[in-house]
Amino acid sequence: MEREVILETQNATKHFGGLAAVEKVNMKIYKGEILGLIGPNGAGKTTFVNIITGMLPITAGKVYFKGQDITGWPAYKVGRLGIARTFQIVKPFRGMTVRENVAVGAMFGHGGHKRSPREALEHVDEIIEFVGMAHLRDKHADQLTLPYLKRLELAKALAMDPELLFLDEVMAGLNTKEIESAMELVRRINERGITILVIEHVMKAIVGVTQRVFVLNFGQELAQGTPHEVLNNPEVIQAYLGEKFVERFFRQQKAA
């Protein structure tokens, strides 16, 4: 059976002056899946998300969401269409409470323009609970620790009611236990019917939550396949993971 493609890029390209940050990337994201996007620092992962979500103008190539050409659409229009993203560098509104931060997402996302500020606040309470932050609802964002700032990013994105969600390193800086619970949350978001692209350097999380992995290197596709295929791909090991890491990783996986 042909799987439904929710997002497709054709030769997506982003140049910063002479630097090809993203070069002719052809990616398909299938409806309902969790796709991993990995690659070395500076490989172009965040830039790729930025040109899809209208945060940065695309240099060349095409972006289709559910068959519709959305190339070059501004961020607010992409958001209304049903695409949300988190930011690698957390960007809360610091003087606002958790509840108010999430409400902003609810007002600008998919169908959100139809919500009044009051309806938005009701909608967000459910999401705040879902991400495990009900006890922090009225705290200001600048009082939160990193794990909760990361969760707040997730909540803001979820409040937009996305069909497709880009997660940019929501596990970076978390300890093992915090990573486990973040992985569980990502799975539960997916179970709500949301398609997810997850960018992570934490390989345990990539292997634990994704069904498929796409590897970028110097802005270009290096490989794609199942997590297992990709982790055993000699080119991926050479460019990114390193042999020592892979040996240790599989030893630990076996032991666990």
Cα distances (Å, whole numbers) of residue 194 to 197, 200, 222: 10, 18, 26
Cβ distance to ligand ATP smaller for residue 14 or 156: 14
Among 36, 39, 79, 162, binds ligand ATP (CB under 6 A): 39
The minimum distance between CB 157 and Mg ion, in angstroms, equals: 16
Rounded CA gap, 102 and 136, in Å?
12
Round to whole Å and give the CA distance between 104 and 123. 11
Which two tokens mark 144?
Answer: 């939160």
Query: Is 46 among the residues that bind Mg ion (CB under 5 A)?
Result: yes
Is residue 16 a contact point for ligand ATP (CB under 6 A)? yes
Report the alpha-carbon distance of residue 78 to residue 58 in Å, rounded: 14
- C-beta of residue 86 within 8 angstroms of C-beta of residue 154: yes
Interface size with ligand ATP, residues (CB under 6 A): 12
Beta strands 212-217; 220-225: pairing state: antiparallel
- Least distance to ligand ATP, CB of residue 100, Å: 28
Contact 150, 171 (CB under 8 A): yes
Distance of closest approach, residue 87 Cβ to ligand ATP, in angstroms: 11
- Binding residue for ligand ATP (CB under 6 A) from 47, 53, 217, 224? 47
Q: Name residues contacting ligand ATP, limited to 49-108 (CB under 6 A).
A: 88
Q: From the DSSP assignment, how many helices (H) and strands (E) are in the chain?
A: 10, 10
Contact string (CB under 5 A) for Mg ion, positions 63-92, x = contact: -------------------------x----
Name the minimum Å distance from CB 50 to Mg ion: 9
The residues binding ligand ATP (CB under 6 A) are 16, 19, 21, 39, 41-47, 88
The residues binding Mg ion (CB under 5 A) are 45-46, 88
